[in-house]
Chains A and B, each alone.
Chain A
């Protein structure tokens, strides 16, 4: 059976584009000197939940502030993974593995954070769901995973969510962003319905509405008055961060 990698000595650069990113590229230039922090971010880049858990426990045992462990260790890894995905060097399974490792580490650190009365600063509260009639949720799930791993608080309403459900949840949790996913051109109308419902209930512009999905375009987003749209989960993270920055900047102007 022919396989290039089975050749006795294939060209050495064959896998270079696909190689796992090396930690030293960030650890060397980063502000982190403690090797433990380096190992933390590496466990996220490697997508190794077991290792991440072990390192989180080690951090607690040595008295490291759990917030530092996140902000200087694990979160640096997730940021790096996102950047690598953005430039095509990491792929969705890698990114998800990184997010899972992040989740596992935070679970270990959370009790200590509660005990100390410190909380990881939430980047924002995001209500997510797929449009009414649409049961395709892989894109929405990716966005939830990436946003959550990056520090957003996610309220995932699942699939085929009605505009009323979106509005109710947004009010309940005082959401910053509502994200509506739709794969099908037929269910894209549901995105418009959610935005109209948010408007009707006076939630916008305080609550930002974002949309995504295979058939969704910038043009459609503009047409239905969405605050933004993104092509993939990593772009969605950028979008959500930018919207939060806008909100902070224009705080005084927004109706309470």
Chain B
């Protein structure tokens, strides 16, 4: 039996959906001009940029969403299964700061930081996918124009990783360049459709607003057949109703609207019922990612998605602490467990501090341990041998020599998660005890030194560079000075 936590009764899920469908008619949803024609011609009424989307149209669009799909690694092997109760984790996305592990100060993140994050995540099996984790601040003339930052981040990740990527575009114009990059990686648009390597986060603006660029991205992704991941982020009490149930309802309405736009543009394109819902902190006005209610929102939103038979995503394993401390560990480990028990297909957020404002590579390796524990818990109690105990006793009698049993040696690795040295279980020795940040620093160094950069075919790399140069020129109207490190 796989352990599961459910927060919503079937009746409550029905009620959430009923009210969400009501919201799509009253007050309706703000949409970008790009989708007005598409909606109008399909039976939705659009006035002054506000669409009223009737339930039958939404239901029709829901019916064409694939219930599951895979992301593939560079080698073309299935690596992430979006669907069912499978659970995967990826690092958080788009931080602007990085925590210096020595000075413990946050500073603007740069390309080298993104590379280091990708290297570490590449080495950790707990991360099924990479993410375009931190913004690469322009530091000097060799660095990238801010306008193509999204494209550049994906370029860096694709160069340093074989894993699938969770990414996104912050502008409508930037998306095509990113898709072109993925096509170059895969070989052709058709192959990319058949074996997608990346999923793109697309965000509505709460409440109930599919902005110009959000709408546009949905259409472009649907038509390219590249998986989209709706990241709706109601803040309970701030940009959404204060009740958790109310925020889950708003999330459902935003996601349903997004799915409708997406499926109208291209029925059958893969899309994920995802989000980064949080409560709104009534003292700071921030979005506390480590709050248990935030985890509850993510779990409940995923439950609604599962009820509709859709792939799911959530934003957990993050903390509000500014340091890699006990609060960071407690909040991140707790939400990793809850997310795994909720069966959310992709859980983003590991490595993130300060309510998603700052990334720490050291936290990423600590979170990997929490994730491994969460995955172990989610596997539940198994019965891998023929008898539970009698066969073992038949062999050892009362000698107590279980350590010598073949069964012990054959099964201990699957019965117990064996943590890395980040987790201290050793007896006290002569040397002083270390704290987890110290051990995490060591682990990061180890992983980075063991990491080997994948070898990209020369022609792929030159295609990448041509796309970057083209986009940089388009954005900046000047030739790019990019280096290829």
Contacts and interface: CB of A to CB of B under 8 A. Distances in A.
Given A9-B73, A93-B403, 9 more contacts: A1-B382, A2-B343, A8-B70, A8-B78, A10-B128, A11-B128, A11-B163, A231-B427, A231-B429
A2 to B, nearest CB: 6
For chain A, give the interface size range.
20 to 34
Which of B73, B400, B409, B412 lies at the interface centre, i.e. has the most chain A CB atoms within 10 A of its CB? B409
B282 interface: no
Contacts of B403: 92-93, 96, 138, 142
B68 interface: no
Contacts of A94: 409
Given A2-B2, A2-B86, A214 B427 contact: yes
A7 B382 CA distance: 17
A94 B86 CA distance: 31
B427 A232 contact: yes
A236 B82 CA distance: 49
Interface in B150-199: 163
Interface string A228-242: 000110000000000
Contact of A13 (B123, B343, B412, B421): B123
A100 interface: yes
Nearest to A217: B428
B365 to A, nearest CB: 13
A20 to B, nearest CB: 11
Contact of B430 (A9, A14, A218): A218
A97 interface: yes
A225 interface: no
A3 B380 CA distance: 10
A7 B81 CA distance: 8
B77 interface: yes
B328 to A, nearest CB: 24
Interface string A94-138: 101100100000000000000000000000000000000000001
Contact of A93 (B81, B128, B412): B412
Contact of B125 (A8, A14, A93, A141): A14
B81 A8 contact: yes
Nearest to A218: B430
13 contacts: A2-B87, A2-B378, A8-B81, A11-B125, A17-B420, A91-B412, A93-B404, A93-B408, A138-B400, A214-B427, A218-B428, A218-B430, A231-B429
A1 B429 contact: no
Interface of B: 2, 70, 73, 77-79, 81, 85-87, 123, 125, 128, 163, 343, 375, 378-380, 382, 400-401, 403-405, 408-409, 412-413, 418, 420-421, 426-430
Contacts of A4: 125, 375
Contacts of A88: 420-421
A157 interface: no
Contact of A2 (B77, B379, B418): B379
A48 to B, nearest CB: 11
A183 to B, nearest CB: 12
A163 interface: no
A47 interface: yes
A146 to B, nearest CB: 12
A93 B409 contact: yes
Contacts of B420: 17, 88
Contacts of B412: 91, 93
Contacts of B70: 8
Interface string A140-157: 011000000000000000
Interface of A: 1-4, 7-11, 13-15, 17-18, 47, 88, 91-94, 96-97, 100, 138, 141-142, 214, 217-218, 231-232
A100 B404 contact: yes
Contacts of B401: 141
Nearest to A137: B400
Interface pairs A-B: 8 shortest CB-CB: A14-B125, A9-B77, A93-B409, A231-B427, A8-B78, A218-B430, A9-B78, A93-B408
A149 to B, nearest CB: 13
A150 B2 CA distance: 44
Which of B420, B421, B426, B429 lies at the interface centre, i.e. has the most chain A CB atoms within 10 A of its CB? B429
Contacts of A93: 403-405, 408-409, 412
Contact of B429 (A8, A142, A218): A218
Which of B2, B404, B413, B418 lies at the interface centre, i.e. has the most chain A CB atoms within 10 A of its CB? B404
Contacts of A231: 426-429
A232 B427 CA distance: 8
A142 B400 CA distance: 13
Contacts of A7: 78-79, 81, 86
A141 B427 CA distance: 18
B147 to A, nearest CB: 34
Contact of B418 (A3, A8, A18, A47): A18
A232 B379 CA distance: 31
A3 to B, nearest CB: 6
Nearest to B1: A1
B219 to A, nearest CB: 31
Given A14-B125, A47-B409, A231-B427, A1 B78 contact: no
A141 B431 CA distance: 26
A190 to B, nearest CB: 19
A225 B382 CA distance: 48
A1 B3 CA distance: 9
B301 to A, nearest CB: 20
A27 B400 CA distance: 36
A161 B334 CA distance: 46
Nearest to A16: B125
B73 A10 contact: no
A214 B426 CA distance: 10
A175 to B, nearest CB: 25
A36 B123 CA distance: 36
A107 B331 CA distance: 55
Nearest to B401: A141
A194 to B, nearest CB: 21
A9 B85 contact: no
A96 B401 CA distance: 10
A93 B392 CA distance: 14
Contacts of B427: 214, 231-232
Contacts of A232: 427
A238 B87 CA distance: 43
